A = this chain, B = another copy of it.
C-alpha cells in the first residue's frame, strides 16, 4: 500500500505545445506499481489551459477546485468542484481555467501497455 498527499508530489510544468499555466503531478502509476491505470493531479493557473487535442485513450476527470471549461470541437461546458468528465478515445478536448483561482482536477488514464494495444 502507498499513502501520500498530492501536495508532497513534485509538480512539473506541462510543456506540450498548446498548454499554458498547467502543472501536473503523477499520484499513482508506474511509481507505485499500478498495473492498469494512472491517476494524475492537474493545476491550471488563471488564464491557463491544456492543449486542444485528441489521442487514442480515454480520460476520466474529476474537478477538485476552481472554475473551468471543458472544450469540445463545437461547444464547451462549464465545470466546477464535483463535476466529472468522461472523454472517450479520439475525441478532441481541452480544459481551461475560467476563473480567478487555480482550477484543479484529477485525470485518470489507462496504463501505457493498454494505450498501445
Contacts and interface: CB of A to CB of B under 8 A. Distances in A.
Contacts of A79: 3
Number of this chain's copies in the complex? 2
A11 interface: no
Contacts of A18: none
A60 B88 contact: no
A42 interface: no
B36 A3 contact: no
A5 B83 contact: yes
Interface of A: 1-7, 27-28, 32-37, 39, 58, 60, 62, 64, 70, 72, 77, 79, 82-89, 91, 93, 106, 108, 110, 114
Given A1-B87, A37-B37, 17 more contacts: A1-B72, A2-B86, A3-B70, A4-B83, A5-B82, A6-B62, A27-B60, A28-B60, A28-B84, A33-B88, A35-B89, A36-B36, A36-B37, A37-B60, A37-B108, A39-B62, A39-B108
